[in-house]
Structure 1
Amino acid sequence: MADEDELRLALDFPWERWGVFLHPSQRAMVERSFDGPARVSGSAGTGKTVVALHRAVRLARADPARRILLATFSEPLARELASKVKVLAPEASGIVPRITVSDWANVADELFQLSTGRRPRIAGAEALAELIATAAAEADVRGFSDRFLLSEWTNVVDAWGIDGLEAYAQVPRLGRRSPLGPKQRERLWSVFDRVRSALSARGLFTRSSVYRQVAADYRVRTDKPFGAIIVDEAQDLGPAELVFLSAITPGHADALFFAGDLGQRIFQHPFSWKALGIDVRGRSSTLKVCYRTSRQIRGMADGLLPSALRDPDGNQEDRDGTVSLFDGPAPVVSILDSYEAEIAVVAKFLEDAISDGVAPAEIGIFVRDPASMGRARSAAQRAGVDSEATVALMHLAKGLEFRAVAVVACDEDSLPLQSRIEDAADEGELDDIYETERQLLYVACTRARDRLIVTGITPGSEFLKDL
């Protein structure tokens, strides 16, 4: 674009076209060829997802024999990406059938079924907690709570596929503040070994073990299901997911491309990609042009995060220097005295947006937990947008975009969520909970392009002070 007039024209595009609009400053990452795994990062609104979409279409168009996987963390987001692929490449072009858009869990389940003839039976959270409690009672590991054991299993043993005492004795346990000596690890392994045996006896898998089994199957095969994989929301990949995606694609140029933002990590603990054979150093780029979120919204939301974030491999994402290309109304933070007052304020915000030309389908309303959903729905109903606006949990906001967003019920016990704090196994996990809860609010706020309101009941979330 030559000037701001052209940007204003782009902002007036129909919403479905704006959702795939590629700013010229991002085009280099779409067209560049890489001789190994590559990653693009950047603050919210810098177009990482759009780069991923355009790159998937470009690779499919360049090689008619190559099947492309565009993968992300959830099924709803995969559906959203699939609709955008169709906007970019009409189905008559023959490109759409060669691009599989899916969440990575579903891809793993389908490949597991192709190999074994059955879908994996995944152990639910309650069943897993019961197995750990039973194993702990049998092993008599006094001094370690069931809460700690479940956390250690989830974040260390299962996440890294630890299959024996020797491996457990050497795993670094990144992010864990409670040090464990050799004798302690030996005692704990007696619990985790029982859990592994119990899962096997019942024919149950964890999500991570499905990824590892499919990865082991395809690592030795020359016929890979995809010629290239492009991953959106890559900051929320875990170790098992990363190994799985690497194993199901050939190791040639342009085979693996990741798009993500460390500041939007809300699920996984940080870990070393390089230790798992994925080295993106020298093939990473940070986008600095924010053209999907107004200067006012981005400036406020940036108060939630540090100016620079570093991953365990030393790759640093600098948020300083990011430039927003357009202005909008100042975002509003309102801490109210009652639910009724909050509902009234949010409804007025929505009504004003509608009167200024924002369509109900271009509105998002988000809350932290299901218990607060009624407040969001009441505001939507009062404004008359409940049948078309998106009303959802903050976790489901990732990757989406709206012209107007209301983040509702940011109360003292909701952000950070009190139940998560109570479940923290040690100080390291508590720190990570605070960090991911803060980043979750950042994600929700930056779904707004033009208008944003954030509300809560007195005294409000401690994070609102940073806004």
Structure 2
Amino acid sequence: MRRRLAASGLMTTAGVFAAATEHFGAQQNKPFSHIVVDEAQDLGVAELRFLVAIAPATSDALFFAGDLGQRIFQQPFSWKGLGVDVRGRSATLKVNYRTSHQIRRAADRLLPAKVRDVDGNEDRRSGTISVFDGPEPIKLIENDEAAEIEAVGNYLKAALSEGFKPSEIGLFVRSEDQLGRARSAAGVAALPMRTFIDHRDEDAASALVGIMQLAKGLEFRLVVLMACDETVLPLKERVADVADDFELDEVITTERQLFYVAATRARDRLVISAVAPGSEFIEDFVGLVS
């Protein structure tokens, strides 16, 4: 495959990083003296090697900020094995400025008290505080899709009447197969909406509707996570494809972390809806208001 790509004058993204790594790795003078990396938990092997190659080999050249609990794009691998050893040099930030105490506390129950990476670095989630309060997250478990759509639509209609702007609302589902349910709920509330590909409407007065993976890094006053059904979270297709118990554990972990990422996009209000019995993950949200 690599030979065929080269013969066609093409490169994969990883190949681009590998070529740049080879180029800069052989140079004494590096293009940067210091590098700050955000969302570091989603770095891949090729990207991390590239960062090492473009910075000098000093103890303070690389600074990483990230959250192991939000790793949804990459399988874990050893940073130490690539020459980046942060053991004993890391710290956990404990003040949350974006998410209410109630939403953060509920979402944190999706993750273990300690998240550990391949190199043994631990992220302890206990002791974190938020700087403001809000209502408890709400769950809407209905008998069928039509009832769920109606319930979510009515909630959105009430939120609009309370003064929520459409641009302050995000509706997310696990995969494209459930997008129709989110659009239908927005239709019940007469809520103007846009998708991730509607770039021309980014600043318009409309709610964002999309899949959970693309919600990462965003923030809304109100987030609705729809279609959190038993066979959707974790996604049935991913579970069916696993080869062994180890791979199953990895799938369940990343599905749980994806749910965590989507839930923590909410600043003030979080609504989780599903068709009964709902995802097993919902039970971890102890104290949800029905």
| TM > 0.5 | yes
Q: Is 1:466–2:284 an aligned residue pair?
A: yes
One-letter code aligned to 1:229: I
Contact (CA 8 Å) 1:328, 1:450: kept in 2 or not? Answer: yes
Q: Give the aligned partner of residue 434 of structure 1.
A: 252
- Tell me how many residue pairs correspond in the alignment: 273
2: CA distance between counterparts of 1:254 and 1:226? 12
Q: Deviations over 1:430-456 (max 9, x none)?
A: 211110001100110111011000011
Task: Give, in angstroms, the shift of residue 270 of structure 1.
Answer: 1.4
1: CA distance between counterparts of 2:188 and 2:126? 40
Structure 1 residues 378, 274: closer, same or farther in 2, change over 3 A?
same
The structure where helix makes up a greater share of residues is 1
2: CA distance between counterparts of 1:278 and 1:247? 11
Task: Give, in angstroms, the shift of residue 197 of structure 1.
Answer: 5.0
Q: Deviations over 1:370-397 (max 9, x none)?
A: 0111111111222233331111110011
Q: Give the aligned partner of residue 451 of structure 1.
A: 269
Contact (CA 8 Å) 1:348, 1:383: kept in 2 or not? Answer: yes
Contact (CA 8 Å) 1:270, 1:311: kept in 2 or not? Answer: yes
Q: Deviations over 1:319-343 (max 9, x none)?
A: 0111122211111112111212111
Q: SS of 1:452's equivalent?
A: strand
Q: Deviations over 1:330-376 (max 9, x none)?
A: 11112111212111221222223222332211111100000111111
Q: Give the aligned partner of residue 34 of structure 2.
A: 228
In the TM superposition, what are the counterparts of 1:17-416 in structure 2 within 5 Å? 196-197=2-3, 199-200=5-6, 204-222=10-28, 224-252=30-58, 254-387=60-193, 388-416=206-234
One-letter code aligned to 1:353: A
Q: Deviations over 1:301-323 (max 9, x none)?
A: 11211001111222111001111
Give % identity: 57
One-letter code aligned to 2:73: F
One-letter code aligned to 2:270: L
2: CA distance between counterparts of 1:253 and 1:446? 33
Q: Give the aligned partner of residue 202 of structure 2.
A: none
Task: Give, in angstroms, the shift of residue 418 of structure 1.
Answer: 1.4
Q: Deviations over 1:4-54 (max 9, x none)?
A: xxxxxxxxxxxxxxxxxxxxxxxxxxxxxxxxxxxxxxxxxxxxxxxxxxx
Structure exhibiting the larger radius of gyration computed from Cα positions: 1
Q: Give the aligned partner of residue 196 of structure 2.
A: none
Q: What TM-score comes out, normalization by structure 2 length? A: 0.87
Contact (CA 8 Å) 1:230, 1:256: kept in 2 or not? Answer: yes
Q: SS of 1:371's equivalent?
A: helix
Q: SS of 1:455's equivalent?
A: strand
One-letter code aligned to 1:428: F
Q: Give the aligned partner of residue 422 of structure 1.
A: 240
Q: What TM-score comes out, normalization by structure 1 length? A: 0.55
Task: Give, in angstroms, the shift of residue 253 of structure 1.
Answer: 6.5
Q: SS of 1:286's equivalent?
A: coil
Contact (CA 8 Å) 1:288, 1:321: kept in 2 or not? Answer: yes
Q: Deviations over 1:196-243 (max 9, x none)?
A: 555555555443333222111111124544443322211111211111
2: CA distance between counterparts of 1:466 and 1:415? 13
Task: Give, in angstroms, the shift of residue 424 of structure 1.
Answer: 2.0
